[in-house]
Structure 1
Amino acid sequence: MDGTESHRRGVASQEPGVEDRMLASSDEKGNKGGDDRVTLKKEIGLMSACAIIIGNIIGSGIFISPKGVLEHAGSVGFSLIVWVCGGGICALGSLCYAELGVTIPKSGGDYSYVTEIFGGLTGFLLLWSAVLIMYPTTLAVIALTFSNYVLQPAFPNCLPPYVATRLLSATCVLLLTWVNCSSVRWATRIQDFFTVGKLLALCLIIIVGMVQIGRGYYDALRPSAAFEFIREPSAGQIALAFLQASFAFSGWNFLNYVTEEVVEPRKNLPRAIYISIPLVTLVYTLTNIAYFSSMTPEELLESNAVAVTFGEKLLGMFSWVMPISVALSTFGGINGYLFTSSRLCFSGAREGHLPYLLAMIHLKNCTPIPALLVCCSATILILCIGETHDLINYVSFINYLSYGVTIAGLLYYRYKKPKLLRPIKVNLLVPCAYLLFWAVLLVFALWSEPVVCGMGLVIMLTGVPIYFVGVYWQNKPQWIHSIVEVITFAGQRLCYVVFPQEDPDSTAPVEMEEKSEL
């Protein structure tokens, strides 16, 4: 595909009724005043940008992954090293994404960059795996964690009922979908508020843990005990420990999905990364240290809810604070994932890789309602299927695969277009170091868990025939175009949406003389 322009030309020639109705709607109902374009609004400042990154990273992962990291790392000391190194690797990746974000200033993150650099098929495979499994599954895991922690005080001696957790999870997802459909501003305010809330919850864990350490309760953290192996880890097991930690750190690249809605992205995108990633790494490391101040490694491995076990041991009659705090944390995580993953669907549709309807936004609210409804529906479907925790390794593997392909694209793009304007240009050692770690991690993960990682590859490769039938095949029968037109028009009427009128220069890379490295 030739990107947005070819897609628009195709729609104009094949579906004139839809295009005419969209333009008529825009003329009749569009914003009045100096700028009457219907487009995504730049309403995300530096604070909201930091909240999106922190809010998406800190979800359910820090309350789920410590058990998996410790289990695969084999000792307390190695597990803490994994958490610190995991944050460092995220920082390297974030610097690379900052360069890509201001060089190719499109919403859509990895997908938009890979499509621009490598072409339609590679971009579509990333989009396919993300829409099919990565984000709906992650949203479902976070929503289930939310409902389990909310219901836990009502069922102190047993697991909450299956139906109750699913209903509460679905209700939460539907509520936040409605908020995101109604207003970008309200969605970002919720993100800001709950990001502060989840940081306060983790600060409570850290402060209580530090008090315990000050009182001398740190046997598991002593050098002699910290590297005492529960089981001898292999290189493959350490790789799986990093994959478990990567689930807790996933979301570090999500600000790149909404680049077009960030105020002054060339300044605020890198600033938000520099503030958020070190802060999250510090909080995660201190949280794990706090866990070990009150739990032995064996107790942590036996716990199904680490934060609840921590609260029960140290907070006594106030132990109810912990499940409520985790619920608030995960509620903000659901909002952040909905906000950003819907922009991925929006970007994919704008490039012609998903149905055209998903590239439309509400005429008054300027929110991508069809894309949000698709994300919501996919998440609820996965909630109804059954347990999603077994898919975490699939998600982590596909995530790392996507990151590596995207950062390899940065190196190729420098070779392909050396004179392109790059307001941020990282040292070559940064992407090379990330790719070296990425390659070692994936090789050992494949060696240790060939079935799990192989299934991740299979899920991604199932998109190849879909791409050739749905995207590459241009001369489809007229009856197919007629059905698409009817569905698109019905969707427009139902959701009150039109295709956004963009500034033609706002998302175009700019060529100029190469500048020196920063």
Structure 2
Amino acid sequence: MVSKQEGGKVVLRRKITLLNGVAIIVGSIIGSGIFVSPTGVFIYTQSVGSSLIIWALSGLFSTIGALCFAELGTCITRSGGDYAYILEAFGDLPAFLYLWIVLLVIRPTTQAIVALTFAQYAVKPFFPDCSPPSLAVSLLAAVCLCLLTVVNCLSVRWSMRVQDIFTWAKLVALIAIVLSGLYHISTGHTSHFDNAFEGKYDLGSIALAFYSGLFAFGGWNFLNFVTEELQDPYKNLPRAIWIAMPIVTLIYVTANLAYFAVVTPEEMLSSAAVAVTFGNKMFGSFNWTVPIFVALSTFGGVNGILFTSSRLFVTGAQQGHLPPVFSYIHINRCTPIPSVIVTCLVSLIMVTNSDVFALINYFSLTLWLSIAVCIAGLLYLRHTKPNLPRPIRVHTLLPITFLLCCVLLLGVSAYYETLNAVIGLLVISAGIPVYYLCVKPRSKGGSLQKFHVKLTIYLQRLFNIVNLDASDV
């Protein structure tokens, strides 16, 4: 963070250009999804043609959502992203419930999925003819999470260096896959596209396929977290979206074209590491490079999610919706150690299930429910606060269409994945008594407040941390 003094007040400099904004969106989206979701989409559609259409529609759907969030990000400029929008529109309890499901479901599950993808690709070369043991995958994913937790606790600079270095790995891997796949097609290898639209078309399968596709586009709203640092945000925020989203969609569709041209449907269905199967067929003696680059890419992805998750919890703690110690930082290293550690611990629980696609289905309902609430908040604020400054105002048809699609997606998936829906709703509902028992009474003193104070003092001594307001950062 770069800051300066203006009239005695520290403010963030607007150093992020349009090109930087495009890079943030592209870099945030392209991660583990393109290396794991192709199999997930194809499992549910079992059709090459409809899989490619779902990838293109997922990009269009994400673009509409990003444009709606551009309006939210410029009329509600406080930090916190989705959390801040729900807080502004609907108040404390819905905002706390958002943090609750983010803490227990969305972020830990996302980190677990990316860590498991890293582990799948890292161990796949040792099991070329069969699937890696699930225990080995889970253990390696846990090691990845713990190692990056240590890095994020020790140094912000180290965590950013990890992010910078490993970002290039995913770009190299994708460029190699796309170019070699397109060359393969140009030489006449198109037999895998025969009868491309034979497959499954029931609503449940289509909805679950969309979940896998949309998971790969996750991160389209990350530029909203740094709106205050974006140069001329009212122009550059929508421009960055219009430039970045088509780029990502094109990369994803062409990467899937490459996969389908080389990998047979049977191999696609049986492979949890489709890029490795692709590399084995296309790169000959250099096939070992694919799992290495993909593993490096997903390793960096885990680091990025861990870093941003911990900062979201800091914001929630400053608002009073999480224990105060979540906003405390190390007195010398300036890292939010409690937030980082708790994020890791919950993620470790998730990696005990090595089925990546089951985890995607599990967390997707709560994720898209929270996004739908944000879009509903946009429409609600237009009605309740019509005079709120809106430097960017999208056509009303866009948020309405996006919200209706979210509701349809949630309804169909809840019908076909009832158990996951029930678990998700129970987790959300469990946050209501927690809010009234632990959050609301905090300002009233009593035994709960005394317990918070004692726990905070103990953790301060253990981790050498202080309140962010009391630090020199």
In the superposition, relative to structure 1, how do residues 185 and 460 fare at CA in structure 2: closer, same or farther (>3 Å)?
Answer: same
Secondary structure of 2:351's match?
Answer: helix
Matches within 5 A, 1:373-452: 373-384=341-352, 389-452=357-420
In the superposition, relative to structure 1, how do residues 366 and 48 fare at CA in structure 2: closer, same or farther (>3 Å)?
Answer: farther
2 CA distance for matches of 1:182 and 1:175? 11
Secondary structure of 2:321's match?
Answer: coil
Matched, 1:485 2:457: no
> What is the TM-score when the length of structure 1 is the normalising length?
0.82
Aligned-partner residue type, residue 88 of structure 1: L
In the superposition, relative to structure 1, how do residues 250 and 34 fare at CA in structure 2: closer, same or farther (>3 Å)?
Answer: closer
Give % identity.
47
In the superposition, relative to structure 1, how do residues 163 and 85 fare at CA in structure 2: closer, same or farther (>3 Å)?
Answer: closer
Count of residues in correspondence between the two structures? 468
Per the alignment, residue 500 of structure 1 pairs with 469
In the superposition, relative to structure 1, how do residues 195 and 265 fare at CA in structure 2: closer, same or farther (>3 Å)?
Answer: farther
2 CA distance for matches of 1:290 and 1:398? 32
- Deviation for aligned residue 1:276: 2.9
Aligned-partner residue type, residue 128 of structure 1: W
Secondary structure of 1:473's match?
Answer: helix
Per the alignment, residue 253 of structure 1 pairs with 221
Q: Is 2:66–2:221's contact at 8 Å kept on the other side of the alignment?
A: yes
Matched, 1:124 2:96: yes
Per the alignment, residue 506 of structure 1 pairs with none
Matches within 5 A, 1:73-472: 73-160=45-132, 164-221=136-193, 225-227=195-197, 229-231=198-200, 233-257=201-225, 259=227, 269-363=237-331, 365-384=333-352, 389-472=357-440
Matched, 1:71 2:43: yes
Aligned-partner residue type, residue 208 of structure 2: L
Secondary structure of 2:362's match?
Answer: helix
Q: Is 2:138–2:353's contact at 8 Å kept on the other side of the alignment?
A: no
Listed one character per residue, the Cα deviations across residues 415-455 of structure 1 (whole Å, up to 9, x for unaligned) are 11112222222221221121122122222222322222232
- Deviation for aligned residue 1:181: 3.7
Moved more, 474-483 or 60-69: 474-483
1 CA distance for matches of 2:356 and 2:264? 28
Aligned-partner residue type, residue 259 of structure 2: Y
Per the alignment, residue 16 of structure 2 pairs with 45
Per the alignment, residue 29 of structure 2 pairs with 57
2 CA distance for matches of 1:45 and 1:366? 23
Aligned-partner residue type, residue 320 of structure 2: G
In the superposition, relative to structure 1, how do residues 258 and 439 fare at CA in structure 2: closer, same or farther (>3 Å)?
Answer: same
Secondary structure of 1:423's match?
Answer: coil
Q: Is 2:107–2:309's contact at 8 Å kept on the other side of the alignment?
A: yes
Q: Is 1:191–1:335's contact at 8 Å kept on the other side of the alignment?
A: yes
Which ranges of structure 1 fall in alignment gaps of 5 or more residues? 1-32, 503-518
In the superposition, relative to structure 1, how do residues 140 and 266 fare at CA in structure 2: closer, same or farther (>3 Å)?
Answer: same
Aligned-partner residue type, residue 230 of structure 1: G
1 CA distance for matches of 2:6 and 2:467? 16
2 CA distance for matches of 1:365 and 1:275? 37
Aligned-partner residue type, residue 346 of structure 1: V
1 CA distance for matches of 2:14 and 2:408? 40
Q: Is 1:191–1:332's contact at 8 Å kept on the other side of the alignment?
A: yes
2 CA distance for matches of 1:358 and 1:390? 30
CA RMSD of superposed structures (Å):
3.0
Q: Is 1:118–1:409's contact at 8 Å kept on the other side of the alignment?
A: yes
> What is the TM-score when the length of structure 2 is the normalising length?
0.89
- Deviation for aligned residue 1:39: 8.3
